[in-house]
């Protein structure tokens, strides 16, 4: 009985030529996550800004080089700094929030601001774009109402810090004094 059952199966296998089978489909290569366009780069106020979800900022910037925990005046004021030294950016957030609380731009930052300003520009360009600073010295131009602080070397912008409105992060508390 078993032979009678196997004979039709063997006949089908022998009768169908091997070349009649369809070839296996080509494997689809995995796509890498999208980074911002190289020609666009980082634009503060456009694709990276304070108040945005921290996860979105990390997706944009990639894997950080270093993380640092900073103690605040209480547990709710502890913060985490995420360092992207290759991009010249450090992002900060409070432990209890999932948003970008502070955006720190180092002198090595090669991006620009949504209004066309760049680090390395002169103070007269800063005033043209943002107006006269609320407070000004030979080292810092402050726009506390906007949460923006530009650090100067002579009359040149060398770094900047952006904060969300009424930020409780320690760095903002210290800079406002």
Q: pLDDT tens across 73-108, in order?
A: 888 888 999 999 899 999 999 987 889 999 999 999
Cβ proximity of 64 and 54 under 8 Å: no
* Mean pLDDT computed over 112-129: 94
Share of the chain above pLDDT 90, in %: 56
Cβ proximity of 154 and 141 under 8 Å: no
Strands 89-94, 148-153: parallel, antiparallel or unpaired by DSSP?
unpaired
**Closest residue by Cα to residue 170 from 100, 79, 66, 49:** 79
* List of domains in the chain: 43-175 (3.40.33.10)
**Closest residue by Cα to residue 36 from 73, 87, 81, 95:** 87
* Mean pLDDT computed over 42-59: 94
């Amino acid at each position: 009985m078993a032979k009678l059952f196997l004979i039709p199966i063997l006949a089908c296998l022998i009768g169908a030529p091997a070349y009649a089978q369809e070839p296996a489909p080509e494997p689809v290569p995995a796509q890498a996550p999208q980074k911002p366009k190289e020609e666009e780069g980082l634009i503060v106020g456009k694709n990276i800004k304070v108040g945005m979800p921290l996860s979105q900022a990390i997706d944009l910037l990639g894997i950080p080089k270093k993380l640092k925990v900073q103690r605040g005046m209480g547990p709710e004021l502890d913060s985490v700094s995420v360092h992207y030294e290759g991009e010249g950016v450090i992002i900060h957030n409070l432990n209890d929030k999932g948003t970008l609380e502070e955006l720190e731009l180092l002198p090595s930052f090669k991006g620009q601001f949504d209004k066309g300003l760049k680090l390395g520009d002169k103070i007269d360009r800063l005033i043209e774009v943002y107006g006269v600073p609320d407070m000004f010295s030979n080292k810092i131009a402050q726009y506390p109402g906007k949460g923006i602080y530009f650090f100067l070397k002579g009359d040149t912008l060398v770094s900047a810090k952006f904060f969300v409105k009424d930020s409780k992060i320690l760095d903002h508390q210290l800079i406002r004094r």
